[in-house]
């Protein structure tokens, strides 16, 4: 890897992060909260100043006009380091409000990775901080690298490597010849849905500020809300269903949504195998949980269907917001919801988890192997949407799923030992690695927080959130010795 290329890209990203951090100042000024200007101004100066210093200290970093010949290892390193720096910079404003450095980093990383797990125990903070909290999720939902590829000319060509390093799905899914155009198209769909959701929430009599914050968090599949009781706190079936619908689309492929919009053909959704699997699994789990809620928890038919559907979509898409306190549900309903945590959403979406395409490939691979036992000489091609999937992609998918569960298991065991509680350990691990958010106990559930867990447990969850958001690959390659071969030019 060439140090000048790393320094050039990372310094540029830090300087633009510094500009983004200034955004909540506008909210502070609107609400005449002048004390909230300093936290974001300081964070902005630190980020932009740090980027400027790196650019000047590393030889030849400032001389590079573009990064067109960037290598894959360099792209992976830039993405991983950028997200770590992004988390640290976003944590700075929290510390100005009396939150400890570790808790600030936890809330920040939970925001940018769209996990939605929180350490907040009260909601008496200024509106500027809540705006920042939701905005970090909105920026992280589609990805900061994807944003910078869309707007920065320096990444016009080199962005391809970083684009797929930030969101490494089973296949490279770009739908325009230029990766910059792909990134721009994704952000247009993303921003358009956000604006539409704000309008619909305001029509449902939600305050404008809350509507903006909830739209940011929902489209990012994040779940942070300025209301201490999440969606439940608005006591409105209309608002619940609006958020439910937009959560579902946040978990479906933005690439597919763009194609459906451009061709004005909503039937494209149902022609996509991954979307069909995502829809079917959502309906199946929702139906099972609704039945349990109606029979065991005395919910009405409408209430059971609404809250089952909401929580299944919320968990499957890794949004993590809540229309009810599901920590109080019957054990059977909670067990089913726990299984949904491993379901995942669609590739190229804001949602986290394993992703439905990977599950399709895993199960089709299992079926093919069983058929090979009966027919040793037969050739079985594994297909998604009638396109044959290369053996290399299938092998990478199996390896990814293995490491996903290995990471989940290690973090679950360690947190369980630290907390002396297996439920907190299991839920804390999958909610961080899957970027889902709340746990199942009242302490860490949808109406609780992770503020009281052990500091090492918080640190493990921070690592899990970052690893889960970048889908393991950029972090796993860091354990290879060859990855750290640094060249000065």
Contacting residues for 39 by C-beta, under 8 A, at least 6 apart: 92, 93, 95, 96, 97, 129
φ, ψ for residue 119, nearest 5 deg: -110, 0
Q: What is the pLDDT of residue 471?
A: 76
**Range 184-200 average pLDDT:** 91
* 219 pLDDT tier (thresholds 50, 70, 90): very high
* 35 pLDDT tier (thresholds 50, 70, 90): very high
Report the sign of the C-alpha dihedral through residues 345, 147, 259, 245, in that order: positive
**Range 341-363 average pLDDT:** 89
**Range 12-41 average pLDDT:** 94
With a cut of 70, say whether residue 173 has pLDDT above it: no
* 162 pLDDT tier (thresholds 50, 70, 90): low
pLDDT tens, residue by residue, 288-337? 999 999 999 899 999 999 999 999 999 999 888 999 999 889 899 999 99
Q: What is the pLDDT of residue 75?
A: 77
Dihedral through CA 316, CA 319, CA 320, CA 321, nearest 10? -120
Query: Is there a contact between 73 and 473 (Cβ–Cβ < 8 Å)?
Result: no
Tell me the C-alpha distance between 25 and 35, whole Å.
10
pLDDT tens, residue by residue, 70-85? 777 777 788 888 889 9
**Range 384-404 average pLDDT:** 87
Per-residue CA distances from 407 to 3, 381, 477, 487 (Å): 30, 30, 14, 31
Contacting residues for 323 by C-beta, under 8 A, at least 6 apart: 230, 231, 232, 240, 243, 244, 306, 307, 310, 311, 314
Query: Is there a contact between 285 and 254 (Cβ–Cβ < 8 Å)?
Result: no
* 7 pLDDT tier (thresholds 50, 70, 90): confident
Q: What is the pLDDT of residue 172?
A: 52
Tell me the C-alpha distance between 251 and 466, whole Å.
19
Give me the residue label for tokens 């409000």: 97
Q: What is the pLDDT of residue 378?
A: 79
Tell me the C-alpha distance between 341 and 311, whole Å.
11
Contacting residues for 260 by C-beta, under 8 A, at least 6 apart: 266, 268, 269
Per-residue CA distances from 36 to 23, 87, 108, 126 (Å): 12, 20, 17, 8
Q: Pick the most confident of 206-210, 261-265, 354-358, 362-366.
A: 206-210
Q: What is the pLDDT of residue 66?
A: 63
CA 402 and chain centroid, separation: 20
Dihedral through CA 169, CA 174, CA 178, CA 181, nearest 10? -100
With a cut of 70, say whether residue 148 has pLDDT above it: no
Query: pTM for this one?
Result: 0.90
Rg of the chain (C-alpha set):
22
Tell me the C-alpha distance between 337 and 327, whole Å.
11
Contacting residues for 318 by C-beta, under 8 A, at least 6 apart: 114, 115, 116, 221, 251, 344, 345, 351, 352, 353, 434, 435, 436, 437
Q: Pick the most confident of 126-135, 356-365, 382-391, 422-431.
A: 126-135
Q: What is the pLDDT of residue 142?
A: 80
Tell me the C-alpha distance between 202 and 188, whole Å.
21
């Amino acid at each position: 890897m060439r140090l000048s290329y790393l320094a050039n890209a990372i310094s540029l990203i830090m300087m633009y992060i510094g500009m983004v951090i200034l955004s909540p100042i506008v909210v502070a000024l609107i609400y005449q909260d002048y004390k909230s200007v300093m936290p974001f101004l300081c964070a902005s100066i630190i980020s932009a100043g740090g980027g400027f210093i790196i650019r000047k200290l590393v030889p030849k970093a400032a001389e590079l006009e573009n990064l067109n010949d960037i290598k894959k290892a360099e792209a992976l390193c830039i993405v991983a380091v950028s997200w770590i720096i992004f988390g640290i910079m976003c944590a700075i404003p929290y510390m100005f409000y009396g939150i400890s450095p570790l808790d600030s980093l936890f809330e920040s990383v939970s925001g940018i990775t769209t996990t939605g797990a929180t350490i907040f125990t009260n909601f008496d903070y200024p509106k500027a901080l809540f705006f920042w909290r939701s905005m970090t999720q909105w920026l992280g939902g589609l990805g900061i690298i994807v944003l910078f590829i869309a707007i920065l000319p320096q990444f016009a060509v080199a962005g391809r490597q970083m684009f797929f390093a930030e969101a490494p799905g089973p296949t490279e899914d770009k739908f325009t010849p230029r990766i910059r155009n792909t990134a721009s198209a994704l952000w247009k769909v993303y921003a358009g849905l956000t604006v539409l959701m704000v309008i619909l929430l305001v029509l449902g009599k939600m305050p404008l500020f809350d509507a903006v914050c909830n739209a940011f968090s929902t489209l990012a599949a994040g779940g942070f809300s300025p209301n201490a009781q999440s969606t439940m706190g608005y006591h409105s079936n209309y608002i619940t269903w609006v958020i439910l619908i937009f959560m579902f689309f946040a978990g479906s492929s933005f690439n597919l949504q763009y194609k459906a919009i451009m061709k004005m053909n909503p039937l494209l959704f149902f022609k996509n195998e991954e979307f069909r699997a995502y829809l079917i699994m959502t309906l199946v789990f929702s139906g099972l949980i609704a039945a349990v809620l109606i029979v065991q928890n005395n919910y009405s038919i409408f209430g059971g269907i609404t809250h089952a559907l909401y929580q299944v979509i919320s968990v499957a898409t890794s949004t993590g917001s809540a229309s009810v306190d599901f920590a109080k549900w019957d054990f059977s309903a909670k067990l089913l919801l726990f299984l949904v945590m491993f379901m995942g959403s669609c590739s190229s979406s804001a949602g986290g988890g394993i992703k439905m395409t990977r599950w399709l490939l895993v199960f089709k691979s299992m079926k093919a192997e069983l058929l090979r036992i009966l027919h040793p000489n037969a050739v079985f091609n594994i297909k998604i949407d009638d396109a044959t999937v290369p053996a290399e992609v299938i092998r990478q998918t199996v390896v990814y799923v293995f490491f996903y569960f290995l990471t989940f298991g290690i973090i679950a065991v360690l947190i369980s030992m630290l907390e002396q509680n297996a439920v907190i350990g299991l839920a804390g691990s999958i909610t961080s690695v899957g970027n889902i958010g709340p746990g199942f106990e009242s302490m860490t559930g949808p109406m609780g927080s992770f503020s009281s867990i052990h500091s090492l447990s918080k640190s493990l969850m921070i690592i899990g959130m970052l690893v889960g958001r970048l889908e393991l690959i950029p972090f796993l390659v860091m354990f290879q010795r060859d990855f750290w071969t640094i060249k000065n030019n």
